[in-house]
Chains A and B, each alone.
Chain A
Amino acid sequence: MTLQRTSAEAALAADYAARRPVLFGATKMRDDAMARFLEAGLPNRRVEEWHYTDLRARMNEAAPLRSADAAAIGAARERLTSLELGEAIVVVMLDGEFNLGLSSIGARPQGVEIGSLATALLDPANADLIAPPGLGEADSIVSLNAAFVQGGAFIRIPANMRVERPIALVNLLSGGPRHAAYTRSFIELGVGASATVWEISENSGGETQANDALVIKLGDLAECDHIAQVHHRGEKSIAVHTLLATMGRSARFDSFALVKDTGFVRRQMFARLEREESHIGLRGLSLLRGEEHADTTLVIDHAAGHCESREFYRTILDGSATGVFQGKVCVRQGAQKTDGGMKSQALMLSDDATMYNKPELEIFADDVVCGHGATVGQLDDNQIFYLQSRGLSRAEAQSMLLQAFAQEALDHIADETLRERFASEAHAWLSMRSKA
């Protein structure tokens, strides 16, 4: 079924044709991806996976790409200071491009390779690494990212190296006129390596269109904690985040995402458990208000047996916000002894809010234990009454219960410093609400 191209799709096609000669490397990957994108068009209601997040309707026009100017770099530098990234190894992408000047990678342990994606792709063998076959290929927004990618980080951690400091991947979009940015970063953890990846993605308001992808390749026994925070302000902003992860034997990947103060975001994660005994844990907290729209979509592919997956998401919705949770756990034939558990819980604070939950199971192996739970509701009157009977005002009681609801999600962050940092951000958001 081919629908007529929207003006945004037509603009993207024209833009790609014009830009193609100057885009760095991996031309074949880009051309193939663009062909896939043009075939499918922008994701819309008719695409099952995007049913609740109609990007075609949202994206009336495709914003142009832009290279950061001196003013933007200055602003970014200030922002980086205020982010207080502490002792982290910082890799910065500004307006889609890798920026070595803003990054501080001096503290990286010896042997850890951190560089620009553009440089890495001079070696054509690396092109396959940044687009793992069969992972998210059917998603047209991932294809669009592969076609347009401007820059990103290319990080390799050698076998058995434990990187103690967090590696912060900071994606910044400068303010000013409407513009788009496409980044794709790659992190490989060798056998037995471990690292904490802290991903920050934010704009400075306005009508930005961000399309970021992070590809993580975990070798056997590798361990990775991934923390993501997304702030894309602006009623007309669009942010799409894709995580593509492949995992080796006995690897561990735990991810947590905090979404707040974001106009319109889709976070999608495609993970493939390729060898036995690996563990994946995906968790998150979304705090939504106003007209905000946040979509979390997961596809966990259990390609090997004896693996474990855990998903735990909480959403608080106020105003006329829309929350979407779609989680799909696929267990392939032969992936016996899979243990999968998924939970999505949402609290609705307003009658104008909307929550869509779609936890999905697709199972082709018989010796598995898989389950999911999903709840939508409001604060329990009995709990509020209990707290009131202990002397709290109704507002205080509500606030306390909301804090607890959020905290239970935040407790999954392993890194104590980051956990406290996220908790205080969530706390600030909630207290702002109760004041209002």
Chain B
Amino acid sequence: MAAVQETVDRVKAIDVDAYKYGFVTDIESELAPKGLNEDIVRFISARKNEPEWLTQWRLDAYRRWLTMREPTWARVHYKPIDFQDLHYYAAPKSTPGPKSLDEVDPELLRTYEKLGIPLREQELLAGVQTSKVAVDAVFDSVSVATTFKAELAKAGVIFCPISEAVHSHPELVQKYLGSVVPVTDNFYATLNSAVFSDGSFVYIPPGVRCPMELSTYFRINEKKTGQFERTLIIADKGSYVSYLEGCTAPQRDENQLHAAVVELIALDDAEIKYSTVQNWYPGDAEGRGGIYNFVTKRGDCRGPRSKISWTQVETGSAITWKYPSCILRGDESRGEFYSIAISNGYQQVDSGTKMIHLGKNTTSRIISKGISAGRSNNTYRGQVSAHRKASGARNFTNCDSLLIGHDCGAHTVPYIESKNATAVFEHEATTSKISEDQLFYCMQRGLSAEEATALIVNGFVRDVLQQLPMEFAVEAQKLISISLEGSVG
């Protein structure tokens, strides 16, 4: 089909060969020596001036990690990673205080500019109060700019780097860190626990609706640095927060490892909405380079009637290994997962979710849209399970895949496990190319083949796009149009 072929060509041209965000910012970094051992773990901890309990926590994780094996069950293939050939800590040398723009390295600001990060600093200075987005930007591993802090503080919201929270709110960090993703959870989460550099910490006090969308921009910058972000979000009783995370990364020759951990905790009646747009460097036309994205994201609906919603738009990374999950512990809690995963070139995506129904009358909903093009492989892998006591559990899963081209693969691997008679689980999945009937129908109404294709692809991912906060929807749409709607513009 001509239109699709054209799309593929355009995507090849745009997405793979001329990766828009492939540049390297020239900022001096402070690197830990290559390799990993107890001294490095202590070094990282010392750099952060961490309390003794956290140092021990890291060391325990490190010792545990030594006994673990890399997981191999995902449908991704890559050369073995030499974990001793990586830097486990990198901090920009000029770390200004987050008080004002002037203190921020101009080189860094230019990087943000190229990325198009809506820092909204200008707006704030000019007194523009609309559409506020607080940015706790992570440049490599250390947070260098935090905005809107005062306003958030007024609402009682704590939004700061986790390294800072360790000092300012040790009781919260100690109580919740590792309570959703235990230190022993899996190979990469354990590694992260040992060496995590920094990340965001959010605490929303009881009954507070966070006055703005919180967002973080991750960026991998220094050559051969592993990024080990650690995010911890706690929504106390009756609170609400929407958190946005977006990523782009500079072009690299060598694979970079990214093993982040995100923990969400929703107490009684609280709601957390977590949105991600991920567009890391996917590798060059031959599939060289590109980010290895091995992320553990999990939310715990701990209180009754709590709700956690994950939305992700995954377009980048050479390898994505990511399963944002919900543990539905509280009665009547709800988990949601909305995903668009687009793979092209030689990208490999193995992503999905887990909905673990533990409490009574818990509900979950999974909408996953996978689009594979080029020579990529795109796998949805998801688990829905109801435990014995999860009476009245309800799940609806819909995962659709669209294939563009002869050399790509789309796979669906759902695990549906029910141990309760009153649980009702529904799962449906389809894989197809763009339907000739739909195309014909659209063209019959006067659209060109190209426009019709665009319309259908748009419609295909619409369910998920709708879930994104306004601030992100635009960016996500832009990404998708770069990735797949090139033929229409």
Contacts and interface: CB of A to CB of B under 8 A. Distances in A.
Interface of A: 48, 333-334, 346, 348-378
- Chain B interface residue bracket vs A: 35 or more
B409 A364 contact: yes
B461 to A, nearest CB: 17
A352 B2 CA distance: 55
B287 interface: no
A366 B433 contact: yes
Choose among B406, B407, B421 the residue with the greatest number of A CB atoms under 10 Å from its CB.
B421
Nearest to A348: B421
Contact of A375 (B406, B407, B426): B426
B424 A376 contact: yes
24 contacts: A333-B407, A348-B421, A354-B418, A356-B418, A357-B418, A359-B412, A361-B410, A361-B429, A363-B431, A365-B403, A366-B403, A366-B405, A366-B406, A366-B408, A368-B433, A370-B430, A370-B432, A371-B429, A372-B427, A372-B428, A373-B429, A374-B427, A375-B427, A378-B421
Contact of B388 (A351, A364, A368, A375): A351
Given A373-B429, A377-B424, A378-B421, 7 more contacts: A351-B391, A354-B417, A358-B416, A361-B401, A368-B431, A372-B429, A375-B426
Interface string B383-411: 00000100100000000010111111111
A349 B421 CA distance: 6
A358 B429 CA distance: 12
Q: Which 3 A-B pairs have the closest CB atoms?
A: A366-B403, A357-B416, A377-B424
B420 interface: yes
B409 A362 contact: yes
Contacts of B421: 348-351, 353, 378
Interface string B421-459: 111111111111100000000000000000000000000
Contacts of A48: 73
A346 to B, nearest CB: 7
Given A351-B421, A366-B403, A374 B414 contact: yes
B415 interface: yes
Contacts of B416: 355-358, 374, 376
Nearest to A323: B418
Given A366-B405, A366-B406, A372-B429, A377 B423 contact: yes
Contact of B427 (A350, A359, A366): A359
Given A354-B419, A363-B410, A374 B425 contact: yes
Contacts, number: 117
B18 interface: no
Given A371-B430, A374-B427, A360 B412 contact: yes
Contacts of B423: 348, 376-377
A346 B417 CA distance: 11
Interface of B: 73, 388, 391, 401, 403-433
Chain A contact residues: over half helix, strand or loop, or mixed?
A: strand
A349 B422 CA distance: 9
A374 B398 CA distance: 11
B431 A370 contact: yes
A374 B432 CA distance: 18
A378 B394 CA distance: 12
A70 B228 CA distance: 71
B418 A369 contact: no
B11 to A, nearest CB: 14
Contacts of B428: 371-374
B19 to A, nearest CB: 24
B413 A363 contact: no
Contacts of A374: 414, 416, 425-428
A235 to B, nearest CB: 21
B292 to A, nearest CB: 22
Contact of B414 (A352, A359, A369): A359
A308 to B, nearest CB: 15
A355 B403 contact: no
A369 B430 CA distance: 7
A363 B411 contact: yes
Nearest to A364: B409
Contacts of B411: 360-363
Contacts of A353: 419, 421
Contact of B425 (A333, A334, A376): A376
Contacts of B401: 361, 363
B433 A355 contact: no
Choose among B388, B410, B431 the residue with the greatest number of A CB atoms under 10 Å from its CB.
B431
A333 B419 CA distance: 37
Contacts of B415: 356-358
A199 to B, nearest CB: 29
Contact of A378 (B405, B406, B424, B427): B424
Contacts of B404: 366
Nearest to B394: A377
Given A371-B430, A374-B427, A376-B424, A348 B418 contact: yes
A354 B425 CA distance: 13
A378 B431 CA distance: 28
Nearest to B386: A376
A367 B409 contact: no
A355 B428 CA distance: 17
Contacts of A357: 414-418, 425, 427
Contacts of A372: 412, 427-429
A278 to B, nearest CB: 20
Contacts of B425: 357, 374-377
Nearest to B389: A351
A362 B429 CA distance: 12
